[in-house]
Amino acid sequence: FFYQQKNIKYLYFLVAVVYVIGLFIPLMANDSAQHATMAMRMYLSDNFFELLKGPNPYLDKPHMHFWLSAISFKIFGLYEWAYRIPSLLFTVLGAYSVYQLTKKLYSESVAHFSSLIFLTSQSIILANHDVRTDAVLTGTTIFAIWQLFEYVSTRKLISIILGAIGMGLSFSTKGFSGVGIICFSIFSHIIYTRN
């Protein structure tokens, strides 16, 4: 039934239902609630330069996740679902990037299944329910890999610019780990294809 192209949209719909329901569950204790509180403090104080945990500077993670959450609070208000919106948007970007990259490498049907496998993996669902930096990091990393793959294949300037932006966002979310994954993926592809 689901192997038919026209029925794939029903699977995407069911996945979307899971993510929309997840927007409204209570924040989980520990990191997710702590990060939401820090983003709320950033929003309420209108201070996007200092990231504080209590009275002390927070130096464990780059600011991107907190900036995105604080901006979401500014747009939508102080709600748990507003805290989760940036992660959801970057997960959609990640799923679209998986789809586009896989379509270039294989076929459209494989691309749909790859995107659905990405969206239904437990770690990605958890990254949207127990929000930390993971969904933003994953979305930006996959986006950068897709765009840099496009650049290697087509030499289009826009692809390397978008890839660099994706890599910069990945770095701003978690540090060098995202950049390392992107570089390893692209260099492996270049070596494999001898391009």
Residue 145 has pLDDT above 80, yes or no: yes
> Does this model's pTM top 0.85?
yes
C-alpha 34/C-alpha 121 separation (Å) is: 25
Exposure of 26 by Cβ count < 10 A (0-12 exposed, 13-18 middle, 19+ buried)?
exposed
C-alpha 61/C-alpha 55 separation (Å) is: 17
C-alpha 98/C-alpha 117 separation (Å) is: 10
Give the pLDDT confidence of 64-117 residue by residue, as tens digits.
999 999 999 999 999 999 999 999 999 999 999 999 999 999 999 899 999 999
Residue with tokens 């994953």: 138
C-alpha 24/C-alpha 42 separation (Å) is: 22
Backbone phi, psi, residue 53, to 5°:
-115, 105
Among 2-11, 29-38, 134-143, 173-182, the range scoring the smallest mean pLDDT is 2-11
pLDDT of residue 1: 46
Task: Evaluate whether 39 touches 70 at the Cβ level (below 8 Å).
Answer: yes
